[in-house]
Structure 1
Amino acid sequence: MKKVINDPATVVADALRGMALAHADLLDVQYDPAVVVRADAPVPRKVAVISGGGSGHEPLHGGFVGRGMLDAACPGAVFTSPTPDQVAAAVARTDGGAGALLIVKNYTGDVLNFETAAELAAADGVDVRTVVIDDDVAVKDSLYTAGRRGVGGTVLLEKVVGAAAERGVDLDGCEALARRVVGRVRSMGLALTACTVPHAGEPSFTLGDDEMELGIGIHGEPGRRRVPVGPADELVPALLEPVLEDLPFTAGDRVLLFTNSMGGTPLIELYLAHGIAERLLAERGIVVERRLVGPYVTSLEMQGVSLTLLKLDDELLELWDAPVRTPALRWGL
């Protein structure tokens, strides 16, 4: 195992210390329990938008804390759900009197722990709502989930709902908007290599030099099938077709196309894949109105790509374009 770390047992805390120094103008980090909050929290009379999950997917979620997006993020151990006390602390730190919306990726531990925290916060008089995202079309059930996994669509959900909350939309409105986004976003990914979790010290699975895993999860969960590696003109349609068929997306739809690196795929390959996806969508009469390209939902150093499509309307487009200032997404401010 070759990694720029010290002790695998302290890698998350060590990374959080560096993050706090790098983004002191945007974030405040507490360590026991570990919570990343926006520097001006709590914002009076604003719905607090909170998410979290296992570390190792950076910049998800802490990199999206800031104005126009998340009020707090709860970083668990690598690929491990945050604990209920972390989520409860995030609610307490960000409660501005308008309630809190918890955005939860559909992994069993995340769902259970966020639900427990919501119950604790409710006992303290805070109105808390929970929305679960399950945008991965690759599999119905997996090692970590009952039902579909939450993957790339999480970033788009956090941005859109965060923008609405920043504008003063109330908790009912933020919850309804979040559920609408969940119903309109779909994703699928592939892996060319496995990643190595620091405390494990070895790759999470094994692929031959000529193999790839189609439909991979962000924790190294198995996908739909293991297939031979081919050219990008074969790989991109293998991801895009299941996404298009699932909602489905049809001619005339306006979409946001998110082309994501799983951590180890360089931008030269990512842009190449994105260009192919845009061409295929244009051939179907699907209009790409907005784009996001880069490593935003990663799986440590895994080489791989995921594609996410969000069906847009005027409101979602306006909220996507709204100003945001976080470590990982910044525009309009």
Structure 2
Amino acid sequence: MKKLINNPSDIVNQMIDGLIASSPTLLARVADSQIVIRKNLAINKVAIISGGGSGHEPAHAGFVGQGMLTAAVCGQVFTSPTPDQIFNAIKAADSGQGVFLVIKNYSGDIMNFEMAKDMAEMEGIKVDSCIVDDDIAVENSTYTQGKRGVAGTILVHKILGAASEQGASLAEIKQLSAKIIPNIKTIGVAFSGATVPEVGKPGFVLAEDEIEYGVGIHGEPGYRREKLQSSKFLAQELISKLKAAFPFQKNEQYAVLINGLGATPLMEQYVFANDVLRQLETENLNVVFTKVGNYMTAIDMAGVSLTLMKIVDNDWLEKLNYSVTTLAW
């Protein structure tokens, strides 16, 4: 294992230290915690909080800032933050208008965020939440019942963050989340496994000429292994799964998020983006928003995921384009 680290057991704390030290005007750390928070909190606006296990950088702390997340709670690598950590983030972020939690659909995350929500409500803080389950690869897998929450979570952060910045109430943000999440779907393909620093070896191993469709962001099993295929073939495979899940209708508007899983160069991501966008043209869809890059990674996993969001309301597109001040958007 070759890693640019000091002590594997201290990697999350040192990562947060480096994040804060390199962004002192934008971010702060809640004392004695693994919580990253906006340096200048919005007044009289709903706070948006997300988080989960570390190892998915830039998610979630890279999306903390004006117009997106108020705070992010960083658990240990691939491990949910504790209820106490999440509760402390809620208290630190609340400005009196309530707190909205964006939770990825993993058993540990749901349990701990819901416990923190109950703790906060006992102290009189208004809290609501949504659960993101955008991964269509498999219905049930390791860590979860139902579909997993993956890169589409970032689009939820973006839209709800814009809504908060524009003055939406807690109830309005809840209603918006319920509308957008069913219209966000993701599927990925892996070329190699992820190496958790404290474990020291990949969670799974693929042969040099082998890929796996539908692998989760913690290395959970996908739906098929086969020999390595071209970018164009992979685009067709993933789009075919997304087409069946929506399904597509001529002239519908879509947002596209192409997400690197950690070790896939941007050069290759843009090759894949070209193939995806050309394929979507043949489906007679209108792509009105595109992002390419590393947004929800799996440490050093090689691979990509493809997220499509059906734009049912033009206000969603306006919110995707809303100006933000964060490290990673």
- TM-score range with shorter-chain normalisation? over 0.9
Contact 1:211 1:229 in 2 (8 A): yes
Match of 1:323 in 2: 323
Match of 2:48 in 1: 49
| Within-5 A mapping of 1:159-238 | 159-238=158-237
Instruction: State which drifts further: 105-114 or 238-247.
Output: 238-247
Match of 2:99 in 1: 100
User: CA shift at 1:32, angstroms?
Assistant: 2.5
Deviations 1:128-149 (A, max 9, x none): 1110000000000001100000
Deviations 1:206-244 (A, max 9, x none): 111111110010001110111111111211111111112
Q: TM-score, normalised by structure 2?
A: 0.98
Give the distance between the partners of 2:288 and 2:79, measured in 1 at CA.
35
| Within-5 A mapping of 1:15-164 | 15-30=15-30, 32-41=32-41, 43-164=42-163
Match of 2:302 in 1: 303
- Partner SS state of residue 168, structure 1: coil
- Partner SS state of residue 172, structure 1: helix
- Partner SS state of residue 320, structure 2: helix
- Partner SS state of residue 113, structure 1: helix
Deviations 1:307-333 (A, max 9, x none): 00011121101111111010112xxxx
Deviations 1:152-191 (A, max 9, x none): 1100000000000001000011111111110110000010
Contact 1:135 1:149 in 2 (8 A): yes
Give the distance between the partners of 1:308 and 1:181, measured in 2 at CA.
13
Partner amino acid, structure 1, of 2:63: F
Give the distance between the partners of 1:230 and 1:31, measured in 2 at CA.
48
Partner amino acid, structure 1, of 2:12: V
Partner amino acid, structure 1, of 2:40: D
Partner amino acid, structure 2, of 1:44: I
- Partner SS state of residue 30, structure 2: strand
User: CA shift at 1:44, angstroms?
Assistant: 2.2
Deviations 1:260-317 (A, max 9, x none): 1001000111001111111111111111001000011101111101000011121101
Partner amino acid, structure 2, of 1:7: N
Runs of 4+ in 1 over 6 A off after TM superposition: none
Count of equivalent residues: 328
- Partner SS state of residue 189, structure 1: strand
Deviations 1:75-102 (A, max 9, x none): 0000110111111111100111111110
Contact 1:152 1:260 in 2 (8 A): yes
Contact 2:30 2:92 in 1 (8 A): no
Contact 1:33 1:85 in 2 (8 A): no
Partner amino acid, structure 1, of 2:122: A
Tell me if 1:251 matches 2:250: yes
Contact 1:152 1:306 in 2 (8 A): yes
Partner amino acid, structure 1, of 2:196: V
Give the distance between the partners of 1:285 and 1:269, measured in 2 at CA.
25
Contact 2:231 2:272 in 1 (8 A): yes
Partner amino acid, structure 2, of 1:308: T
Match of 1:8 in 2: 8
Match of 1:288 in 2: 287
- Partner SS state of residue 103, structure 2: strand
User: CA shift at 1:124, angstroms?
Assistant: 0.5
Give the distance between the partners of 2:25 and 2:183, measured in 1 at CA.
34
Give the distance between the partners of 2:2 and 2:288, measured in 1 at CA.
40
- Partner SS state of residue 50, structure 1: strand
